[in-house]
Amino acid sequence: MPIATELTRLLGIKYPIVQGGMQWVGTPPLAAAVAVSGALGMLTALTQPSPDALREAIRETRRRIGGNEGRFGVNITLLPSINPPDYAGYARAALEEGVDIFETAGNNPKPLIEYIKSYKPPGLTDADPIPKRFIIHKCVTIKHALSGQKMGVDVLSIDGFECAGHPGEDDIGGLVLLARAANELSIPYIASGGFADGRGLVAALSLGAAGVNMGTRFMCTVESPIHQKIKEKIVESTEKDTIHIFRTLRNTARVYRNAVSTEVVRLERRPGGAKFEELRDLVSGARGKKVYETGDHDAGIWSAGIAVGLINDIPTCRDLVKTIDQDASGMIKRMNNLVVTDEQAERVRAKL
């Protein structure tokens, strides 16, 4: 029986589960499969080489969903860069294709959020209302979450220290971060970092979240576009098989522990540290993409959260989402039995 939350009601999805927007992974095959499963699929804009390529990816995702019900969005991550991508172009392409769910992350998203919220499709007059759009914004601190809330986002994704990618520099785990979010925020939020099963979904809900965001877990599914050998490597791994790079550069990122990431950390720990220019070739996106294409887990840097320690199979997205929902529903029902009346508690004590 599906679990209904503010997230499912707001976005019109069946299950309170969101697929992370992962570089090289959030492509039409995966986003469509997640959408058809009843969760929220997510295309990664910057995986596509241009706004026009994103436009075609959106159309392909819709073709794959076909006559099935399914919802998906577009992730736009704002990167620190001297020559930034055409963020507005990517957003415009998605908006023109009728996408109404966006995930933002990274540097100051305010201009992008305002653009998405105010965009009026051609053909509408000044008197016509702007179509409703929903923005999920990823944050690693409560301070940034509150800023996102003021900017008018609809849902916040609270990323704990356990997450893949960039967890921030404060090293705050999800247990405390999510509880703080419950005390501070007035809009729905989802939990990200370390979630891979029904038990995690229940934990997130108990901490006030309206759902979970899963990246690493969706990497290890039948429909995930990465090489089978990498999926098998994830299954073989434990929670000890990730590592943080760029600590000394104040741009910490959790990635899979392999020959390349270990070398990056070694260079950072030298007396005097390491400049990004010295690490550039090791951490290039082209090398990371090669990991997913060739199956060589040591070919480059690739993101993975400590949820690898909870992953022991490679299911279809439909089976994964259904299992998580069933397991979570069963746990919630069993937990209801933990609450008893004073009289019932007294009878138990009397039997001891």
CB 192, CB 163: distance < 8 Å? yes
102-152 pLDDT per residue, tens: 999 988 899 999 999 999 988 888 888 999 999 999 999 999 999 999 999
Same domain, 154 and 260: no
Residue 186, pLDDT > 80, answer yes
Same domain, 37 and 91: yes
Same domain, 175 and 260: no
Region 299-325 average pLDDT: 98
Same domain, 273 and 191: no
- Supply the pLDDT for residue 253: 95
234-284 pLDDT per residue, tens: 999 999 999 999 999 999 999 999 999 999 999 999 999 999 999 999 999
State pTM to two decimals: 0.95
Domain-located, residue 98: yes
Tell me the pLDDT band of 343, cut-offs 50, 70 and 90.
confident
Region 193-217 average pLDDT: 98
Same domain, 51 and 190: yes
Domain-located, residue 351: no
Domain-located, residue 193: yes
Whole-number CA gyration radius for the chain: 21
- Residue 46 belongs to domain with CATH number: 3.20.20.70
Domain-located, residue 272: yes
Nearest to residue 158, comparing CAs of 181, 176, 183, 135? Answer: 181
Same domain, 222 and 101: yes
User: At which of 255, 276, 294 does a domain end?
Assistant: 294
Domain-located, residue 338: no
Residue ranges making up the domain that contains 181: 6-226
- Supply the pLDDT for residue 185: 98
Domain-located, residue 135: yes
Domain-located, residue 323: no
**Among 181-190, 314-323, 341-350, the least confident range:** 341-350
Same domain, 207 and 246: no
The domain tally of the chain equals: 2
Same domain, 216 and 114: yes
Same domain, 11 and 126: yes
| Distance separating alpha carbons of residues 32 and 70, to the nearest angstrom | 8
Tell me the pLDDT band of 33, cut-offs 50, 70 and 90.
very high
User: At which of 226, 253, 270 does a domain end?
Assistant: 226
79-93 pLDDT per residue, tens: 877 788 999 999 999
Same domain, 146 and 283: no
Same domain, 208 and 276: no
260 dihedral zone (left: phi>0; alpha: psi -120 to 50; beta): alpha
Same domain, 73 and 195: yes
Domain-located, residue 271: yes
